[in-house]
Amino acid sequence: MIKVINSGLLSSFQDKGRYGYKKFGVSRSGSLDFFSFDLANKLTGNYFNEPCLEIIGGFSCLFLENTIISITGPLDFFSVNENFIYRTNSSIRLNAGDKLDIPNSQKGNIFYLSVAGGFRIQEVLGSYSYHQPSNITNSLKVSNGDMIKLKINNQNNLFISQDDFFEKNIFNEQSINIIYDQESKSENIKSFFEDKEFIISDQFSRQGIRLIGEQANFFKDQDEISSEVSAGTIQLPPDGNPIILLNDSQTTGGYKKIGAIPKFELSKLCQKKISSKVKFSEISLSDSISKFRKLKSEFENINIQNYTNKVLEINGRLISVQILENNSIISISDGEQFEVIEDSFE
């Protein structure tokens, strides 16, 4: 069991989403950064769709039993007992009484916390995903003081990812791909989206992101018939500031639809901080499919290694050392972390 001390801006359980309920007005929900979600379960040896805690805006909790956890997301650090600092995209063994702190990162928005074996929580409408706009899944939102039960853990190994997949594909400054709606596509639209930068506004939630930029002077008078929308849909309301819908969006919308952001790009977009700049570039549907297949293959072959963690006492100070299978030391920590290159524990 764990006791939540600080749930941050929004902490909720998420899996890969809820399917078959859009006709009732319930969107898919699910993890906003599905690459980091998948890696979290890989690092704890869990089933690929085991629900994780999706954390926005920092998090801390107390573990009341021994377990193994993993933290994925922004290329940053998390700490245990306010002493030892570990890299994200790794798993760590925790003991009863250990306190976990995940920062409010300046490098991204969303972390995932997975526990080996999984959380013991109730399924709602065929999924373990919290749905922000309604109250039907309030039991899947996490608040200060919550006591969360854990499943039995049969995992003993610790894993760490030393791959550059996330630096290359998620946490970068490259433009975001857009697939234009062929009925809406025009030179005006292409110029509006591709010739300038937009700013991520503070109107950012699991329902969508509003962008700020030079306002469009077309589509001021809209008389649109409401139609289906989903995660990735780009809307252009009369005020000229685009909205990109996310996993908890409404299921129909009446604003002008410009196109869609491919699913694999939503992970990158959702990790961009408020006030950061973003540019767009066109991609065809066929090229989008090819790019997704390439990314999926690259992710499936991501470099994950076993490692051990040694806590040593040196001159009265506790030192944490992470050591790979080949005895290479990858990090040393006693409140600050630094990397050791071409060294060994022998």
- Residue 64 belongs to a domain: yes
Q: Are residues 40 and 143 in the same domain?
A: yes
- Residue 311 belongs to a domain: no
- Residue 97 belongs to a domain: yes
- Residue 32 belongs to a domain: yes
Cα dist. 296→130, 147, 329, 333 in Å?
A: 25, 35, 30, 33
Q: Are residues 97 and 117 in the same domain?
A: yes
**Rounded distance, CA 242 to CA 68, Å?**
42
Cα dist. 247→234, 329, 344 in Å?
A: 13, 40, 45
Q: Are residues 80 and 202 in the same domain?
A: no
Predicted confidence at residue 346, as pLDDT, reads 42
Domain count, the chain: 2
- The residue from 113, 137, 162 where one domain ends is 162
- The sign of the torsion formed by the CA atoms of 194, 200, 204, 210 equals negative
pTM across the whole model: 0.90
Q: Are residues 274 and 229 in the same domain?
A: yes
Q: Are residues 217 and 80 in the same domain?
A: no
Low-confidence ranges of the chain (pLDDT < 70): 216-225, 330-331, 333-346
Q: Are residues 84 and 227 in the same domain?
A: no
For residue 283, give its domain range: 170-293
Q: Are residues 153 and 176 in the same domain?
A: no
The pLDDT tens digits for 97-132 are 999 999 898 899 999 999 999 999 999 999 999 998
Predicted confidence at residue 221, as pLDDT, reads 62
Q: Are residues 155 and 185 in the same domain?
A: no
Say which residues have a Cβ less than 8 Å from residue 210's Cβ, sequence separation at least 6: 201, 203, 204, 241, 242, 243
Whose CA is closest to 324, among 345, 338, 294? 345
Q: At what angle do helices 285-300 and 34-44 cross, to 10 degrees?
A: 20
- The residue from 139, 162, 185 where one domain ends is 162
Say which residues have a Cβ less than 8 Å from residue 138's Cβ, sequence separation at least 6: 130
Alpha carbon 18 to chain centroid distance?
17
Predicted confidence at residue 122, as pLDDT, reads 94
- Residue 17 belongs to a domain: yes
DSSP string, 124-139: BTTB----TTSSTTGG
* HSE of 128, CA atoms in CB hemisphere, 13 A: 17
Predicted confidence at residue 75, as pLDDT, reads 85
Tokens standing for residue 29: 């929900």
Q: Are residues 58 and 89 in the same domain?
A: yes
Q: Are residues 239 and 255 in the same domain?
A: yes
CATH, residue 284 = 2.40.100.10
Please check whether residue 257 is in contact with residue 284, taking contact to mean a CB–CB distance below 8 angstroms: no
Q: Are residues 99 and 187 in the same domain?
A: no
**Rounded distance, CA 181 to CA 136, Å?**
33
- The residue from 94, 128, 162 where one domain ends is 162
Predicted confidence at residue 342, as pLDDT, reads 43
- Residue 133 belongs to a domain: yes
- Residue 158 belongs to a domain: yes
Q: Are residues 181 and 111 in the same domain?
A: no
- Residue 65 belongs to a domain: yes
